[in-house]
Amino acid sequence: MGILNLHTVPARRTRRMTQTALLALLTSGALSYANATTYTLNKADDTVIGQDQTVITVYQDTLYGLAAAYSLGSEELIRVNPGVDPWLPGAGKQITVPGRHILPPGPREGIIVNLPEHRLYYYPKPKRGGPVEVITYPVSIGKMDWRTPLGLTRVIQKQKDPTWFPPESVRKEHAEAGDPLPVKVGPGPNNPLGAYAMRLAAGDGTYLIHGTNNPIAVGLAVTHGCIRMYPDDVAALFPLIPVGTPVRLINEPVKVAWVDGELLLEAHPPVDALGQSFEPEIEEFSELLRAAVGDTTVAIHWDYAREVLQKANGVIATVGLEAELPTPPEAAPASSTAPTSTASSTADGAGK
């Protein structure tokens, strides 16, 4: 399989603003965000979309503003640029923008949310004879005891300008923190659901894919179990999603793909049963890689693979090459002495 020759519809906008102005806009919910990028798959089995790139900052830039402009979660961009002050990176800094993604495993239909990746993928139904497309957005997921449930569900309701009825458990949490909540919050800038919400069948209808009035937190494990999106992103997705659309919530911190005989690895911080990210335990993470590769004969550079797994920053790396098994010698005549083969399976020593 080759890397896609993509027909890309970029919806990225350059953001140039001061830290003070950005913070004010984030607080007010007025900041306009870039929509996701739509990718056209040239072949049904294409597995990699997008491209990584670098940008050079100007003095007004922040990593939060750049993350929003390039359809990334804030933590997603901060993680791949360690040591850079997210609020004051300064002018002339080279920033890595991770825009390349391995498509998640499983059926390519409806919505897929990969929790460790903090990313949503949507496959619109292709027109007859038309190509397969995928649209991807960064999201926030549930935290603490507000676990975002795994498994297959579906959209059962869509609401524009929803009213939020805080569950009793959420009201109790806020009350204990000295921040009491009303019984209901109507549409407007104080509504944490934003302007659009799509209700899922999971959890007796208590889970939503929705917007936010706190866009700086997109990409973090900060919601009460729901899936939170940038305001512009949910506004773009909302009209595309019919009621009944299947939604798969998965937990795949390690993704692999074969491209032109190379083994590509994409690793993200794993999440626990409560939705919280944690540092990977390298041997357990390595087992996930072995399981993902399966029975394929592959020569893996394990030192480098473990380094990629340890970083778990979501940047795709080539960690192995598909190996060909030695061709068995042709059967010799019975009277001849069969040659002794000195070849061995590349896979035998690859994982040691």
The residues carrying an active-site annotation are 210, 226
End-to-end CA distance of the chain: 27
CB 298 within 8 A of CB 351: no
**Crossing angle for the helix pair 282-293 and 302-311, to the nearest 10 degrees:** 120
Distance of CA 134 to the CA centre of its chain: 13
Strand arrangement, sheet containing 119-123:
8-9, 37-41, 132-138, 119-123, 110-114, 246-250, 151-160, 196-200, 208-210, 227-228
What 3 state SS string does 143-203 have? CCCCCCCCEEEEEEEEEECCCECCCHHHHHHHHHCCCCCCCCECCCCCCCCCCEEEEECHH
Burial of 269-298, coded b for 16+ CB within 10 Å and e otherwise, reads bbbeeebebeebeeeebbebbeebbeeeeb
Q: Specify the DSSP element, H or E, that contains 286.
A: helix 282-293
Rounded to whole angstroms, what are the CA distances from 282 to 80, 127, 171, 269, 351? 19, 44, 39, 11, 14
CB 268 within 8 A of CB 152: no
The conformation of residue 295, written as its DSSP 8-state character, comes to: T
